Structure 1
Amino acid sequence: MQPRNTTKDLRADLARMTAPDPANTLVSQSKTLRAAWADLMRGFRQHELWLQLGWQDIKQRYRRSVLGPLWITIATGVMALALGLLYSVLFKIPVAEFLPHVTVGLVIWGFISGCIKEGANIFIDNEGLIKQLPSALSVHVYRLVWRQTLFLAHNLVIWVILILVFPRNLGWNLALAIPAMALLIINGVWVTMFFGIVATRYRDVAPLLEALVQLLFYVTPIVWMTSTLHDQGGEIANRARLAELNPLYHYMEVIRAPLIGASLPAYHWWVVIGCTIGGLFLALMAMRQWRFRVSYWV
């Protein structure tokens, strides 16, 4: 049996997957919100392409590695254990309560920060594919979000271990984690698309986002709890309410609360849904205005 020419086969697959759809040619070339939405839909229909490319990214990154992506899981687990044990002593919170809070927060944060920081360079890093393949611009966005979703799935292994070590009565509320994850992934799409376009046009945006993500890590309740500040009362409790002005706090809560068996007020869902709709509209506006210019900017 002759060995497969993988490079030739991959190119043939890419050509087949990215073949233009004549029915959408006119609408995709217009400068309207409908055309921007059509790009998102066309890219989603090319799922064979971005699924394959995303999986190839992971295999390439961990080539010749024994554990592969599990290295990310190990690193996240070690960090969660160290921060959980340290801050549980500083804040005088039981480890069984605080460690799951920190762990799930770090897992979710890995996805959010990955979409923001890597999303800023998504089109720059894929310059060759953008110029050579007639695929939808959103294909590269789905590729990154798919890769980050795989990392998120790997890191959830840590949560499973914690639930076994510190048993909790999760109940039916655990099912709420599914729509919460879906909302998180949808937000990953618009965040990657918006910052990808803006950072491609203005190259100073990427390092700025690096610093901003670092700042957001400290002001988002990941290694601290809002309940700890509220318990102190007085002026500190009033300042703790400022955390609710941070949208990432609500994203954390809608996923973390079902996974650790905590109560979840309904207003968190409304904030996340509102931010999702607003973010999608913002990304569509950016696509409508600038998506044709991305190939010239990279």
Structure 2
Amino acid sequence: MAVTVTDNEPGDVVDPSEVSSPRSWRRAFADLHQGWVARPLWGHLGWQDIKQRYRRSVLGPLWVSISMGVIALGLGILYSALFETPIETFLPHVAVGLLIWNFISGCILEGSEVFISNEGLIKFLPAPLTLHIYRLIWRQTLFFLHNLVVWAVLMVVFPHPLGWSLLLALPAFALVALNGGWIAILSGILATRFRDIPPIIASMTQLIFYLTPIVWSVEILTNNSEAARERASLVELNPVFHFLEILRRPLLGQEIIGRYWVVAGVITLIGWAAALVCLRNYRSRVAYWV
């Protein structure tokens, strides 16, 4: 499978300063566009990543859903007993939280090493740098779709009042995936220059997991006292919380809260602005840093 990559289309009027300087917005946006055009390549590579991971396995990619389902079941039963909450509501809460968290953490952890792990392809394949970002997001999306089986089973066992708001899960997931893209670009480029970045990100990701209401619920804290409700409001300072809620609430048929979407949208704009600046200034150096 061959992919031809060019920075300019035939007939384009090119500013000589844009050609001579590797730091240009034109080249940065062209990299994003050319990476998207190379969908057959990164789409195929994403499938191969999953097949390779479960090669010679009897159940194959089903292990993705099985492992996630077992963890969700164990944590759901444990914490529902600790918090004295009905398992029919708390187990889906934990399972969907883990489903979304696996996608987010996968983008963060693999994003910090996305260029380091593809050193050979970057040096010898004349392809856009963002091709590896699209490949990463596509691979994590496939894992997410596999894990949706767990959500479907739980909705059958523990029915929730799903309505038209369920359709909001599509733009919510698209927004989460967009943020996975800028995180991978930003952390991936920085990690190629400073190799201490991946372990730092891994430690921070583990901390964020405990600070995010995935295996615990904000509602449990707010039912205790006024002081507890004030402390619980601090969870909104966690950016991951907003992305978790805009996707989890439609999947569980819960009330849609507009401020979560507003915060998620603002974070997306700021994050992509920072990622584009980094891509513009340092994309040409990644091949030397890896």
Relative to the length of structure 1, the TM-score reads 0.92
Determine which of 148, 172, 194 is the counterpart of 1:156.
148
Q: Distance in 2 between matches of 1:19 and 1:185?
A: 25
Q: Which amino acid aligns with 2:226?
A: G
After TM superposition, list the pairs within 5 Å mapping 1:17-56 onto structure 2: 17-23=3-9, 30-56=22-48
Determine which of 196, 220, 223 is the counterpart of 2:212.
220
Matched, 1:86 2:78: yes
Contact 2:107–2:183 (CA under 8 A) maintained in structure 1? yes
Q: Which amino acid aligns with 1:243?
A: V
Contact 1:230–1:236 (CA under 8 A) maintained in structure 2? yes
| 1:4 paired residue number | none
Aligned-residue Cα RMSD (Å) equals: 1.5
Range that drifts further, 100-109 or 20-29: 20-29
| 1:208 paired residue number | 200
Q: Distance in 1 between matches of 2:5 and 2:25?
A: 23
Q: Distance in 2 between matches of 1:19 and 1:261?
A: 44
Cα distance, 1:35 vs structure 2 = 2.5
Q: Distance in 1 between matches of 2:109 and 2:26?
A: 28
Q: Which amino acid aligns with 1:69?
A: P
Contact 2:178–2:268 (CA under 8 A) maintained in structure 1? yes
Q: Distance in 2 between matches of 1:251 and 1:236?
A: 23
| 1:180 paired residue number | 172
Q: Distance in 2 between matches of 1:173 and 1:90?
A: 31
Cα distance, 1:21 vs structure 2 = 4.9
Q: Distance in 1 between matches of 2:127 and 2:34?
A: 8
Q: List, as ranges, runs of 4+ consecutive aligned residues in structure 1 with deviation greater than 2 Å.
A: 18-30, 32-35
Q: Which amino acid aligns with 1:186?
A: L
Q: Distance in 1 between matches of 2:259 and 2:161?
A: 23
| 1:286 paired residue number | 278
Cα distance, 1:265 vs structure 2 = 1.2
Q: Distance in 1 between matches of 2:137 and 2:263?
A: 22
| 1:192 paired residue number | 184
What SS does the aligned partner of 2:71 have? helix
Q: Distance in 2 between matches of 1:49 and 1:133?
A: 12
What SS does the aligned partner of 2:190 have? helix
Contact 1:20–1:134 (CA under 8 A) maintained in structure 2? no
Higher share in helix: 1
Cα distance, 1:234 vs structure 2 = 2.5
Q: Distance in 2 between matches of 1:202 and 1:276?
A: 24
Range that drifts further, 175-184 or 64-73: 64-73
Matched, 1:96 2:82: no
Q: Distance in 1 between matches of 2:30 and 2:22?
A: 10
Q: Distance in 1 between matches of 2:127 and 2:27?
A: 14
Cα distance, 1:201 vs structure 2 = 0.7
Matched, 1:271 2:257: no
Determine which of 46, 55, 65 is the counterpart of 1:63.
55
Matched, 1:132 2:124: yes
Q: Distance in 1 between matches of 2:5 and 2:234?
A: 50
Matched, 1:251 2:237: no
Contact 1:174–1:261 (CA under 8 A) maintained in structure 2? yes
Q: Which amino acid aligns with 1:246?
A: N
Matched, 1:237 2:229: yes
Cα distance, 1:30 vs structure 2 = 4.0
What SS does the aligned partner of 2:60 have? coil
Deviations along 1:191-216, whole A, 9 cap, x unmatched? Answer: 11111001111000000111101000
| 1:3 paired residue number | none
Deviations along 1:56-75, whole A, 9 cap, x unmatched? Answer: 11111111111112112111
User: How many residues end up aligned between the 2 structures?
Assistant: 284
| 1:73 paired residue number | 65
Contact 1:18–1:133 (CA under 8 A) maintained in structure 2? no
Cα distance, 1:23 vs structure 2 = 2.2
Q: Distance in 2 between matches of 1:229 and 1:160?
A: 28
